[in-house]
Structure 1
């Protein structure tokens, strides 16, 4: 049976310092290269920020980023699959954002290059702080006008604002788009992420499973936004630091993200198989 193993990143594969431990990095590289493990991670992060957090994970892996909007090859950086908004959808989201007084960070491809754009004078203090952590990022491309902000093939909107504003916007958008409304586990800022309706970790895993010709999927996670992924896969394991909602539907509970729970489980699984 050809099995695909998929892990969430933050709070699951990454430790509390937002990096891979040397044990986790070494174990996954060896299992992929020596045992033929088919492994991916699924994250809301971009490929660039996910790559920084997983530095040293050099094995040939297809990676699910932007909550499933993009699937990219780790070694070659080749985009295997992508999901963009239709122009009519961009216009609808744009009008709702303007009406709500919410100013987004807009992710798009322009002439086959990835950018994130925003109008600096309009964005919130929380968004500024977030962008300041991304200084030097080659995708950073501030817009001067609203027209520039919405150029290109858009695949992702990030809004960092007051909880009340984002919650109202979420209620208006959730039926037609894939939306994630949450509080960031590191900064405690409120976020609303907006993606095409077809986008989710679960759907990206389904696409990847078919692309790779796998028969079975095992997933690992920690948060409420991993529930849909857990409901889709064949086996699912929650780290001990996971939310109670996720633990309730998990196949089992494993060690925490700070105890290399995923890597230890994978090591034991592959050595039992052999």
Structure 2
């Protein structure tokens, strides 16, 4: 059945509180949305194995994962965009020259090229354990997203690897996807494949990797804790992620 509307939710700083959990008010709001035939969809830089607790807590079954590289609708895979192996190999060589470690993302696992302090800081920041090491995972399985683990030196990579898009997503990392890859691209593919181009779309976000997503939906809602550039693109600004911002934002834009 075609939904009456679709609402996309970023996770960190948006649907998740600072304790990396979904608030009771948000769980209730998502339940209300589904009762009104409005489909809530997670739109995140994370992969599926990182968000199992969110799916369980919310009952959500649709995900734009890894910044648009892997898309599920109602539990079914509708779009994937694996990264070219030779391009990963070249970037891996570049990171080694700069003493920067990487993480490889499939839909089911994360593996690092090596353990180091920045890797530990990043995953601690997300409330996760550092991944196991397998520097050759990209030679064995499709990789949909990469992470560069670095606190500075961002400019080195875009200048040399123009076929990738680099977005700083935490103080300790850059998300890496193919050029043009984004949550917006994943949303566009979902709407196209499912025949939902005429369905009204909404999105909630807080970070720089939500900018393209805000441009891809009909109505954009920024959290109070969002970066200024995102607030400028928003139709509404709701309360922060620790103050029932999701429920309040859904009421602001008329979905509840």
Q: One fold, TM greater than 0.5? A: yes
Residues 72 and 81, structure 1, Cα contact 8 Å, conserved in 2: yes
What are the Cα deviations for residues 83-124 of structure 1, in whole angstroms up to 9, with x where unaligned?
111233223323322332322112247xxxx3322343xx32
Residues 45 and 66, structure 1, Cα contact 8 Å, conserved in 2: yes
Structure 2 gap segments, 5+ residues each: none
Q: Work out the CA distance in 2 between the residues paired with 1:131 and 1:238.
A: 25
Matches within 5 A, 1:165-180: 166-173=154-161, 175-180=162-167
Change (3 A) 1:118 1:11: closer
Change (3 A) 1:251 1:149: closer
Selected match of 2:152 from 145, 149, 163: 163
The residue that corresponds to 1:100 in the other structure is 98
Change (3 A) 1:134 1:20: closer
Give the deviation of 1:267 after TM superposition. 4.8
What are the Cα deviations for residues 12-38 of structure 1, in whole angstroms up to 9, with x where unaligned?
121222111111112202321x21112
The residue that corresponds to 1:212 in the other structure is 194
Residues 104 and 137, structure 2, Cα contact 8 Å, conserved in 1: no
Selected match of 1:266 from 233, 237, 250: 250
Selected match of 2:119 from 110, 115, 127: 127
What are the Cα deviations for residues 49-73 of structure 1, in whole angstroms up to 9, with x where unaligned?
22324542114x3111111111135
What secondary structure is seen at the aligned counterpart in 2 of 1:79?
strand
The residue that corresponds to 2:240 in the other structure is 256
What secondary structure is seen at the aligned counterpart in 2 of 1:264?
helix
Change (3 A) 1:131 1:21: closer
| Aligned residues between the structures | 249
The residue that corresponds to 2:43 in the other structure is 42
What are the Cα deviations for residues 204-237 of structure 1, in whole angstroms up to 9, with x where unaligned?
1111122333223211111222111112222111
Give the deviation of 1:198 after TM superposition. 4.0
Change (3 A) 1:162 1:11: closer
Matches within 5 A, 1:222-241: 222-241=206-225
2:64 paired with 1:72: no
Change (3 A) 1:108 1:248: closer
Structure 1 gap segments, 5+ residues each: none
Given the two structures, how large is their TM-score scaled by the length of structure 2?
Answer: 0.84
What are the Cα deviations for residues 222-255 of structure 1, in whole angstroms up to 9, with x where unaligned?
1222111112222111122212211112112122
What secondary structure is seen at the aligned counterpart in 2 of 1:16?
coil
Give the deviation of 1:191 after TM superposition. 0.6
Q: Work out the CA distance in 1 between the residues paired with 2:251 and 2:82.
A: 37
Q: Work out the CA distance in 2 between the residues paired with 1:14 and 1:155.
A: 23
Residues 103 and 146, structure 2, Cα contact 8 Å, conserved in 1: yes
2:24 paired with 1:22: yes
Bigger Rg, which one = 1
Give the deviation of 1:155 after TM superposition. 1.7
2:141 paired with 1:142: no
Change (3 A) 1:261 1:108: closer
